[in-house]
Structure 1
Amino acid sequence: MDVQRDECSDRREIHEVVLTYARGIDRLDFDLVRSVYHPDAVDHHTGFEGGVDEYLAWVEPLLRRRARDGGGTMHMLGNHLVELHGDIAISETYGTSVHWGEPADDRRMNFTSGVRFIDRMERRHGRWAIAERWAAREWTRSDAGRMMPKEAAGPSGGSGADDPLIRLQRSVRGEGVTA
């Protein structure tokens, strides 16, 4: 029974690593992104291959520039399978990555991709994290010219202090900001 409970816990922790990456990337919280990798991790993305420090140095300015111009990203994660091999695991996560930005008719700024995150996860010192990641792009569709403004006032996402998540977190943690 304990082995089954540990396996379930490992799977849940590995899934949290994948979800945390998506939150960090989409909210531009690069400390959070860094936290899902082991320090010596390697990342393979379209247009990039290298260590985690180099990956963050590459991706952060791209995403900050996109956000500064009113754009962003949203990663929606779906199917998630894990093969456990002791303190090593293979994690495969299917997802959709939406990217938008200015100019609105630029295909390289406005696109949606089908992606699989294929991760070698390792448990080191009791913590699961990415040791190596392949962000395998399965397909890409241009969304140029397809974005439209919101139809009415209401909450909007972002990467700063006004994001509803950040406001809620600060409120719950007693940091003086109301949700």
Structure 2
Amino acid sequence: MSVEDELQELRRELRYVKDRMAILDCVMNQSRGRDRHDLEILAGIYHDDGMDEHGHAVTMGPEYGEDANKAHAAVFADHLHNITTHTCEIDGDEAHCESYVIGAMRPRKGNSVLLLGGRYLDRLERRDGTWKIALRRCTLEWTMTGDTSLLTSGAFAGFIKGTWDKSDPSYARPLGLDSTPVERW
């Protein structure tokens, strides 16, 4: 293999790695933005003409953040969306991804947590050099409930409790032990 051929191959491999990282960052940032109710993050995830389908709700990407936050805040005290298995096929400026998601949602009333398992089926497109979601379709595969009474029993007193705004300690720069105010259980 010539030096020029080797350089071309390295460029192709680097482009693939950069694209995969940008796509995975987009998918992960959608979950982070959703769990922190961060409209700024969510606004950067979908193309302006992007669509999100969650059950019967089909939302234009730019409105997704406000709609999802409003729906979640009406019912849940907190929630976490965990991305697990992630596959991605890239073809030029288009990518098709499947990401498994486990959602944990704690209703405002009662001492339970709802666990949901599903998948995000995404088509991402690179436009103007940036990967964003053009279409997301959400599957639901299973649900289960569990008891959360331990959270308020005192067993976890002192643990940090997350917030749905930029006062959440994950935004602190630099993160400090004594300099970052937090809510606690």
Question: Same fold per TM (> 0.5)?
Answer: yes
Aligned amino acid, residue 153 of structure 1: G
Is 1:122–1:131's contact at 8 Å kept on the other side of the alignment? yes
- Structure 2 portions without partners, runs of 5+: 1-9, 181-185
Bigger shift: 42-51 or 90-99?
42-51
Match of residue 113 from structure 1: 116
- Structure 1 portions without partners, runs of 5+: none
* Bigger radius of gyration among the two: 2
1:43-86 C-alpha deviation (Å, 9 max, x unpaired): 1102411312443343121223346xxx1110111111110110
Structure 1 CA distance for aligned equivalents of residues 167 and 39 of structure 2: 18
SS of the equivalent of 2:118 reads strand
Identity %: 26
Residue 101 of structure 1 deviates from its aligned partner by 2.1
Match of residue 86 from structure 1: 92
1:87-126 C-alpha deviation (Å, 9 max, x unpaired): 00001111200111221267xxx41111211100000000
Is 1:77–1:96's contact at 8 Å kept on the other side of the alignment? yes
Summarize the Cα distance change of 1:147–1:134 in structure 2 as closer, same or farther, 3 Å threshold: farther
Match of residue 183 from structure 2: none
Structure 1 CA distance for aligned equivalents of residues 115 and 168 of structure 2: 23
Q: Across the two proteins, how many residue pairs are aligned to each other?
A: 166
Is 2:39–2:66's contact at 8 Å kept on the other side of the alignment? no
SS of the equivalent of 1:148 reads helix
SS of the equivalent of 2:162 reads coil
Structure 1 CA distance for aligned equivalents of residues 66 and 163 of structure 2: 21
Match of residue 74 from structure 1: 80
Is 1:22–1:75's contact at 8 Å kept on the other side of the alignment? yes
Structure 2 CA distance for aligned equivalents of residues 147 and 130 of structure 1: 38
- After the TM superposition, list the runs of 4 or more consecutive aligned residues in structure 1 that deviate by more than 2 angstroms: 53-58, 63-67, 145-148
Summarize the Cα distance change of 1:99–1:147 in structure 2 as closer, same or farther, 3 Å threshold: farther
TM-score by length of 1: 0.83
CA RMSD for the aligned pairs?
2.1
Is 2:80–2:105's contact at 8 Å kept on the other side of the alignment? yes
